[in-house]
């Protein structure tokens, strides 16, 4: 069951409470290159991204935020490290949220300046701790960035916000180690009422990084922990969005886009199922509708699985049957199966 947290507004979106878990990503462009940044954000929006974070490295990036903000409708989050003045400039540019890192933002008075500006503008702040940038006094105390060190870094920063009566806060505390991340978020969820942004930092390339993220975040989400999610991958940011929705779909927490089910094949399979499944997967990218599509290779589980899906193929020897919600509607030779499936899909859905 979802653990209910305080509601925080980011633009028109609500985080926490009983709001849907929000999918976000981060641009991989230089924010000062506003044309490239706007193009990438529009692709992210098309992929289903609901909030996007942008790196603000210098004054030129901060100035670029204003241009980007005027060109897109998705809520923007300014990612700030080292220089508190960049947070002030980002807030002045109209961002919907600021993320600061306790490990490098500096002295308390700098944090207070950011809090004052955010409060005046009515926007929230994410306190984003990473295991790779724990404040030095805390790191020295524990010797390495173990979960206790990460949690202490969060606590100390939250205390500063509470002193200024600022509670429009989102928390995150990411580690590259899956078990450490799980332990940290479990503790944060027990200790704080603020919404949690969850992720595995520096997860890696899509295959391994996707698996690490699915394992760690899947456990947390299944325990009801997490209000926003980002899958950090060394890949195009739209891949991060797709991975996030796959995890949420698998747990029944969101219904977004097509879900493809295909069997692993064995010696019973008498069609080129790998080719068929890849072709179906590629063509499904054109659809935004939530639907379950099954591509099954033999008579053992094929007909049953295909009947349980919204649309399905069950294959035999060089041939196959197309199902719609359990009803056989078409038969085809192997070479025409994919086309037959999508003819049926297009006849039965409104792909808008």
**Does 315 count as an annotated binding residue?**
no
**Does 263 count as an annotated binding residue?**
yes
Q: Are 96 and 11 in contact (CB under 8 A)?
A: yes
Pairwise CA distance, residues 157 & 55, whole Å: 21
**Does 269 count as an annotated binding residue?**
no
Q: Which residues belong to the annotated binding site for [4Fe-4S] cluster? A: 263, 266, 298, 305
Q: Which residues belong to the annotated binding site? A: 263, 266, 298, 305
């Amino acid at each position: 069951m979802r653990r209910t947290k305080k509601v925080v507004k980011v633009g028109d979106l609500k985080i926490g409470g009983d709001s849907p878990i929000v999918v976000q990503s981060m641009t991989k462009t230089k924010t000062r290159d506003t044309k490239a940044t706007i193009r990438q954000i529009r692709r992210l929006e098309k992929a289903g991204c609901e909030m996007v974070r942008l790196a603000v490295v210098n004054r030129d990036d901060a100035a670029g935020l204003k241009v980007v903000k005027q060109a897109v409708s998705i809520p923007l989050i300014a990612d700030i490290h080292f220089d508190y003045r960049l947070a002030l400039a980002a807030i002045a540019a109209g961002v919907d949220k600021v993320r600061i890192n306790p490990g490098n933002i500096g002295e308390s008075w700098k944090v207070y300046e950011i809090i004052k500006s955010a409060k005046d503008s009515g926007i929230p702040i994410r306190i984003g701790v990473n295991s790779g940038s724990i404040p030095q006094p805390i790191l020295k105390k524990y010797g390495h960035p173990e979960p206790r060190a990460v949690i202490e870094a969060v606590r100390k920063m939250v205390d500063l916000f509470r002193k200024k009566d600022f509670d429009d806060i989102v928390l995150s505390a990411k580690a590259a180690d899956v078990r450490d991340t799980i332990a940290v978020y479990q503790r944060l969820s027990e200790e704080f009422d603020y919404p949690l942004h969850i992720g595995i930092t520096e997860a890696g390339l899509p295959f391994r990084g996707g698996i690490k993220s699915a394992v760690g975040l899947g456990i947390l989400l299944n325990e009801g922990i997490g209000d926003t999610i980002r899958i950090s991958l060394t890949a195009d940011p739209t891949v991060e969005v797709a991975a996030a929705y796959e995890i949420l779909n698998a747990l029944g927490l969101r219904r977004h886009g097509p879900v493809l089910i295909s069997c692993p094949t064995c010696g019973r399979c008498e069609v080129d199922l790998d080719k068929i499944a890849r072709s179906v997967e590629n063509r499904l990218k054109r659809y935004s509708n939530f639907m379950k599509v099954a591509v099954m290779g033999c008579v053992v589980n094929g007909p049953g699985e295909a009947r349980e899906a919204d649309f399905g193929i069950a294959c035999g020897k060089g041939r196959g049957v197309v199902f719609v919600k359990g009803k056989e509607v078409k038969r085809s030779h192997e070479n025409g199966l994919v086309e037959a499936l999508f003819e049926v899909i297009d006849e039965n859905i409104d792909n808008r």
